[in-house]
A and B are shown apart, each in its own frame.
Chain A
């Protein structure tokens, strides 16, 4: 292996004089006294490699020795990843000793001594390739597939395959023979370089199945699909993290991967503390059992922050290859972009807009393209839905990270400062936000067949209602309450009903925090009927008071358990209020 010595140090950028070949993105270990500091090559000039160190470089000296590893940064893939808490380099945080993180404390992502009940799925003599399922073990509630390693190219013949039984991670599960007659031993564990996409699928069609999130402003207005991409830009305090946490709790997915990338440690602690306690209604188990956390918070090393999103994506791709529905969340991808900026500045590269690296748009779109809905070689499907939070500097959506992400992601959930200030949570702007999937005929067909025949129609009606409501509001503000026809007040208040009852959703209320599709349909119908109704009022003041009452009762319904006695009681009260004023329900 190539060796080197430290020749220069600027914060976590280290220049290393090397004695042999090095590859871009190759991993190396710098010896600081006895402690190995992991680093990654990010530039090579002549005999000198520029490496970004995944640790603090305090006390490092020129002349310290470096050993290169001969491979890129790799994720370790095998049973036992579910429920784990990793750092950005996939070290198991729970295995580290002491209160404080120690440099060079690299821990095993899997449980070396664990044993798994293996069930073969293939037969000796089968022709197999990277990603083929050889067997499965039960990991929590997931049938974890043991696959032909993704690194193996070409076709192989299955020479031996372990029978049903209890095996440890390092036991030989299968032996494969390639076309040259060479044998390859397969265990339950494989490695994959995180910066490369795993392509063990046969096709990547356009995604078309709705992913139910339980978040009304998404499902009922701008739905996302299984295998889709979305992002949530918003100034600080507008609710990006609360929204990500809500998605991780309530979305219909087999597995959730949360990448806490350069944000607050206490937010991860919240997941650590809550998820092992919270029930997952889908499985009857605890939420933590379908969740893996990659925590590289803002105070952890910057270079590892950059790696963290790739580690998370690689784990997602691994589980997708098992035919699972994965939801990957990253909070926030801006911190990852900033990590790139810090290094690029230290290397004195020619800066692009706002001093970000020139190739930022390409890096972002490359990453988003790893999500998607895929057909696996055996005909089954899997998906990675990716939703990233973006933290625009100064709340300005014209900054490079937001602009680049807008080109890469198909759903845009813009969090508005104004809505957050008036506590209209989630603060997703209903007018600026969009879901490009609503343009896919196959998705429209899916909606009408699987969700409800009038889902799309209602959704478009609601969007129009919100725009008209906003226009009416602006007119009222310019001309005064008296200066506009009564109709304007009605129009405004009808859109307020939709806003208060469908869009606003209290993430901290046990009942309101998640709304299953059945309930969304029910409430949507009520609200649309109210909006389509014709009412009899003499003055705008009456409109004002009347609609406040309506909203109040409807909100009480949102806070009550679906179809409970309370819920029904409020429904009766609602109908009574409607009787007072409604003249006709227009179709």
Chain B
């Protein structure tokens, strides 16, 4: 980014904190960008002539006589079809050695879609992972995070989902991504021959944390271009949103805002909602689906970050290691897709809803039986059967290494019901039992 001749340069900072600096300047717009000794910064507060800038790269080494130039615009991204296949940093600058992208310059973090211009999301995304398709069906236009402890393979699962989702474009927004994970995504997409439909905006652990704040808006501005202008189905992957929220709290704490729960800014809900609500189904066929990662600390979902996220997103996917089968599964109890009822029994077979609920109830019976066992009580015959059911259900349907289609997963569930239970114990509508209960076993 170069300074233009007519722009006024200031050289006197009146205050410097860890993420911000303040100076006296006139005719500055709110949200406007500036360069502070070449580092990109944005206006976050104006009181009279005192302008406070948030410096994305951090203030380390910034002197109080730093050169400040205002750029006269909010952060922008050049959008065009040339974005496809490219890798960018948080500022939208290429990091793949390729040329700058030419196209329409758009301000990122733009306005919201008028709710009456949205369409009800109703196309199922099949992932082959039955733990998702059977119990937590995803829908285009949905926003949903993985809630996972840092040691769980969420990036792997997300990459599988992305590749099987058949999206026209996959946009990766990486925040505080380790270099290894960045290369992992690059490799997986490359090996799948999908690089030409991928666009990446990446801030790695090597980059300054505050820069991350630009990543979601960059990714979603690109997404809106393809979804609105080209009517494409776009899948946006945001990982890790916990690191995004941490960056928010750095900035707000430096600005002396009163923190609310868990030292997060009081506006955390609105800040996250502005990002996640960009997920949308348009009437003309374009859509933006957001799959995110929110890492937990010690599985605590009452922490302000997962808590606010859960209130915003349309469900959440929990991964859990099932020691009985030594595999990672999609936890059917804590996971939820709020949009599943839009597609269940419509994009899938009519028995889907009842099969899903019955299997989960039986899985819950098994959990109770397990507690009994651990407490040293005798098990009933029903308990024994539900335990055996649970193990096979977990292995055949919940494990993340499963790859099965929409009919196959339902047939498999019926097979398990018939192996371990009577129809009355399963408790499904009679007409469905008549139709699908395996005849001989």
Contact = CB atoms under 8 A, between A and B. Distances in A.
B113 A355 contact: no
Contacts of B26: 62
Given A58-B30, A394-B302, A300 B116 contact: no
Interface string B345-381: 0000000010001001100100000011001011011
Given A8-B48, A541-B380, A555-B427, A354 B74 contact: no
B381 A351 contact: no
Interface in B112-131: 112-121
Contacts of B91: none
Given A298-B269, A545-B382, A559-B429, A100 B113 contact: yes
Considering residues A61, A94, A394, which has the most beta carbons from chain B within 10 angstroms of its beta carbon? A394
A61 B378 contact: no
B418 interface: no
Nearest to B120: A273
Nearest to B116: A93
Given A272-B115, A342-B266, A266 B29 contact: no
Interface in A333-352: 335, 338, 341-342, 345-346, 348, 351
B111 A56 contact: yes
Contact of A101 (B111, B304, B430): B111
A395 interface: yes
A236 B310 contact: yes
B258 A394 contact: no
Given A273-B120, A480-B377, A268 B115 contact: yes
A15 B30 CA distance: 13
A369 interface: no
A94 B341 CA distance: 27
Given A8-B48, A58-B31, A273-B120, A541 B74 contact: no
A99 interface: yes
A270 B120 contact: yes
A269 B74 contact: no
A295 interface: yes
A242 B411 CA distance: 30
B277 A298 contact: yes
A10 B47 CA distance: 8
Nearest to A103: B111
A423 B46 contact: no
A60 B424 contact: no
Interface residues of B, number: 81
Given A93-B115, A548-B425, A354 B120 contact: no
Interface stretch (B194-202, B237-245, B330-338): B330-338
A interface, over-half SS: mixed
B153 interface: no
Contacts of A354: 260-261
Interface stretch (B1-9, B311-319, B396-404): B311-319
Given A264-B277, A297-B277, A508-B353, A59 B121 contact: no
Nearest to B315: A237
Contact of B116 (A94, A103, A422, A483): A94
Given A7-B48, A237-B338, A96 B314 contact: no
6 contacts: A94-B116, A101-B114, A298-B277, A299-B277, A302-B270, A338-B269
3 residue pairs, one from A and one from B, having the closest CB atoms? A298-B273, A394-B302, A299-B277
Given A270-B120, A481-B377, 9 more contacts: A85-B116, A99-B117, A236-B311, A265-B112, A266-B141, A299-B277, A394-B302, A421-B333, A422-B364
Interface of A: 7-11, 15, 56-63, 85, 93-94, 96, 98-103, 235-237, 262, 264-266, 268-270, 272-273, 295, 297-300, 302, 335, 338, 341-342, 345-346, 348, 351, 354-355, 391, 393-396, 421-423, 477, 480-483, 508, 541, 544-545, 548-549, 551-552, 555-556, 559
Interface of B: 26-32, 44-49, 74, 107, 110-121, 141-142, 228, 257-261, 265-267, 269-270, 273-274, 277-278, 280, 282, 302-304, 307-308, 310-312, 314-316, 333-334, 336, 338-339, 341, 353, 357, 360-361, 364, 371-372, 375, 377-378, 380-382, 424-425, 427, 429-430
